[in-house]
Amino acid sequence: MLEINQISFSYGNDSVVNDVSFSVEKGQIISIIGASGSGKSTLLKLVYGLLDANSGQMFWNKNQILGPKFHLVPGMDYMKYLAQDFDLMPFVSVAENVGRFLSNFYLKEKAERINELLELVEMTDFAHVKAKFLSGGQMQRVALARVLALEPEVLLLDEPFSHIDSYQKNRISRHLFAYCKKKGITVLFTSHTPEEALMFSDEIVVMQNGEVIEKDVPEKIYNFPKTEYIARLTGDINVIPVSYFGKNDGSILYVRPHQIKIAENGLKVEVIQNYFKGNGFLVKVQYHNDFFYIDNTTEIPIHKLIYLQI
């Protein structure tokens, strides 16, 4: 188990991580989401031991994780960390980068391992290409293969698919997380993409202003967000006063577009715009001075009046 107990960290007078505590079971995949500057990347560096926490403690299987004050070479041996700069050697081949930390004692096994990992990230055809000739997305895929080479117990990934083209991203991310599940590798990854966090996480950690404000399974984070901030991190959301539906307790509803239905009566709105999204339309509607979005299988004529129910 990974245990994070009341960890805090500051850059000078700027507090970045504030009293963060949570635990992760072995083999779990945990995504960390939050607005830019919420402390996600700094938290990963603390977990890996690249930074010294101002207070608090961290443990992996009861072994304390310590920062550079306690280690000549920062970082923990049983962990691998992939930062956003990739840290590849530009003048050697893709295969050499992936096998950088693999032993040369068993060359056949080393070659097989490199090939296995290049297949995982779909970079086999580039095995003999020097890293400096790769695109940003290709470099990121090679870096992913390299951090898996020695099969860590814990894998820390900071925006691991941010440079990869969308048509490859979904396939490679499925391959990567399935591989980690199969091998029992514990994964913490940061993401700005709601689909990544929702699809691949066992649990989602939500950070705001350096604090963990929520930790729960993706279904609850998405369907029952506790705040507007949490709701907007995980997809489109409508913020609707319940008074619009005849209730006057002053509460607010956080409603996804697919949770609003067109009905024969209810809230009367005007259609303003249709956005085609492949499997249907996102329809923008107006009620007085407020705008909402609903999902619909077909386009709805502009200015048509319709009724909505939740």
pLDDT tens digits, residue range 245-286? 877 887 888 999 999 999 999 999 999 999 999 999 999 999
- The stretches in the chain having pLDDT less than 50 are none
pLDDT tens digits, residue range 115-140? 999 999 999 999 999 999 999 999 99
CA angle at 39 for the pair 10 and 60, rounded to the nearest 5°: 90
- Strands (DSSP E) found in the chain: 2-11, 14-24, 29-33, 55-60, 63-64, 79-82, 154-158, 186-190, 203-208, 211-216, 238-241, 252-255, 261-263, 267-276, 281-287, 290-296, 305-309
* pTM for this entry: 0.90
Q: Say which residues have a Cβ less than 8 Å from residue 57's Cβ, sequence separation at least 6.
A: 5, 6, 7, 64
What is the location of CATH 2.40.50.140 in the chain? Answer: 239-309
| C-alpha pair distances (Å), 160 with each of 96, 116, 126, 208, 304 | 21, 19, 19, 21, 44
CATH architecture for the domain at 239-309: Beta Barrel (2.40)
CATH number belonging to the domain at 2-231, selected among 3.40.50.720, 3.40.50.300, 3.30.420.40, 1.20.1050.10: 3.40.50.300
CA 182 from centroid of its chain's CA atoms = 20
Q: Say which residues have a Cβ less than 8 Å from residue 116's Cβ, sequence separation at least 6.
A: none
